[in-house]
Amino acid sequence: MTSDSKPRDDSQAFPDIDRIIHEPARLMIVAHLYVVTEGDFLFLERQTGLTRGNLSSHLGKLESAGYIDIRKEFIEKIPHTVVRLTDTGRQAFESYRLSMRTVLDSDSGSH
């Protein structure tokens, strides 16, 4: 029990959590890309259940952060947007998992 009654600032309580990945939709996208080598837009749409617009928006954010690499190519004359995690993205996801584990373990220790 603390004697000071300053309200807790949650963003300070979880300083190491990667907020790019922490967003639920992006977490799902990154998790699916982590377990495969690469997948196209339709693959991600089907596996995550996100709408096209929503998926596009989140992929844009992940690409801006350097976590994914997107390339457009033709596979058997059909255009595909192929997405893969970059090395930075893989490391970021692994760090995120470690951070979450640390936060959840330390939180359970306080009860």
Partner 1 sequence: MAEDLDLKQIERKTYMAYHQDGLWDLLIGLAMMSVILDVILGESGIYIVVIAGAAGLVPMLKKVVTLPRLGYVKFSPKRQSREKLNIILLTVLLTMTALLGAVMMSAYSGDAGWQRWIRDLRLIPFGIVLTSVAAALGLLWGIWRCWIYALLSLAVFVIGHIFEWRMTIHFAILGSVLFLVGLVMLITFINKYPKKAPEAGNDI
Of 61, 106, 105, the C-alpha closest to 83 is 61
With contact defined as beta carbons under 8 Å apart, do 41 and 81 qualify?
Answer: yes
CB of 93 to partner 1, least distance (A): 10
With contact defined as beta carbons under 8 Å apart, do 56 and 83 qualify?
Answer: no
Listing DSSP states for 75-110 in one string gives ETTEEEEEEEE-HHHHHHHHHHHHHHHHHHHHHHHT
Nearer to partner 1, 65 or 100 (CB): 100
Nearer to partner 1, 55 or 92 (CB): 55
Nearer to partner 1, 20 or 44 (CB): 44
Residues that bind partner 1 (CB under 8 A): 31-32, 34-47, 52, 55-56, 59-60, 63, 70, 72, 75-76, 78-82, 97, 100-101
CB of 19 to partner 1, least distance (A): 18
Nearer to partner 1, 13 or 36 (CB): 36
Q: Report DSSP state, residue 54.
A: H
